[in-house]
Structure 1
Amino acid sequence: MTDSDPTALTVLKERADSGDPDAIDELVELAAERGDLAELRRLADRGSSTATDQLVEAATERGDLDELRRLADAGSVTAGDRLLELTTG
């Protein structure tokens, strides 16, 4: 599936919103490929640890301390670790 087909993307989002783990994984992959941080945040906020991991990676690469703080406050141990590394290392 590519994100060039808006109908397929809509169906994929509907499946993900219904809790389909395969659809969630596919959306995370698509969002990560295109750098869609808003979609990754949406998926992470809905409980996708894979989306959270992708956000932590992106935030670490950008040195985005606010995003890492937000993720750490939401319970991501990895985000907390990266935040500590960036602020003390």
Structure 2
Amino acid sequence: MPATPPDPSEPSIPSDPDAVALAVEAAIERDDLPELRRLADAGSSDAEDALVESAAERGDTAELRRLADAGNSDAEDALVESAAERGDIAELRRLAALGNTDAADELLELEEEEE
């Protein structure tokens, strides 16, 4: 069975780590979130870190959830912090149910404050 040729409309990911770092830097400077997602999905931890930071700054809960669901612990930490600041008990419960002990602790604190 012949290999599927790469999609020419989709730019390739550089194989050289220095080139990847430059691509991430350029995407950060342009605030090019789709490019950062593409680089992160291809395995760039720097791109993933930039996405987490950007999403946290923008308060983009959906992006943080997507990254946390993919296993990014920094995104999960940012979700907990954001939910605690907003007093979002539903989000803290969701995270605690998934086993996040920080969310469980924040949830206890918020519930104690309500009493």
Range of TM-score over shorter length: 0.7 to 0.9
Give the match for residue 90 of structure 2.
66
CA displacement at 1:14 relative to structure 2: 1.0
Listed as ranges, the gaps of 5+ residues in structure 1 are none
* Residue correspondences, number: 86
Name which one, 1 or 2, has greater alpha-carbon Rg: 2
CA displacement at 1:18 relative to structure 2: 2.5
Q: Which runs of 4+ in 1 moved over 2 A?
A: none
Higher relative contact order (CA 8 A, sep 6+): 1
SS at the partner of 2:71?
Answer: coil
TM-score (norm 1): 0.86
Q: CA RMSD in A?
A: 1.4
CA displacement at 1:62 relative to structure 2: 0.8
Give the match for residue 75 of structure 1.
99
Listed as ranges, the gaps of 5+ residues in structure 2 are 1-27
Q: Greater helix share, 1 or 2? A: 1
